[in-house]
Structure 1
Amino acid sequence: MSLDPRTWFKVPHHGRYDPESIRSFTEIYWRTLLITGVTICLGALVYGWEQFLAIQGDRSPDAQGRPALQQNIDRAGLQAILDTFKARSARFDAIGASKETISDPSH
């Protein structure tokens, strides 16, 4: 049995004179759409559940129920962090002050 690529054009064309004969085609088409939709939904649910379980399995037992310990920072560390913020702000201001003039390409 060979498949004729023109079948998809023949079936609706012949069905215009005999609409009852197209019923089986539409039922198969509708069931295919339903099965495809259900398969996609189930696949998405299974994939999400597997990812959820993978995350739950990767959690360490030390992290459950205990808050993270806050580390104290010394004055030198704080000053180093503040200096990096000041340098970043100065770099941003320098870039904003040295704007290049761009010619209008429409002229």
Structure 2
Amino acid sequence: MGTRLKVLRAFKALHRTRMDVFKEDDRALTAARFKINEEYRKNKEETSEENINKMIKMSSDVESILRLNVIQAEHLSQETIQLRPRKSLLLENVPYCDQPRTKS
């Protein structure tokens, strides 16, 4: 696969993840779009294959961190924050229990 295609795929993956992670948050969507585009524009003249591959790897790592570690939260009041985790983050729901588990 050509380098240009790899860069384009990484760019699109970041934007798809941005749309999912910051869904319904226009301010965060705009800021993330601006930052992604700014970083790609800043490096568009890079010709070193090694540097380009490092940047593609970094882009992939950032996309993964956004997808796996960012949860939306909304301030509802001075003392209340509502979390909006994405379904892809809800892998296992284990009820909290104060008592330690006993071995069976």
TM-score, structure 2 normalization = 0.26
Structure index of larger Rg: 1
Q: Which has the higher contact order (CA 8 A, sep 6+)?
A: 2
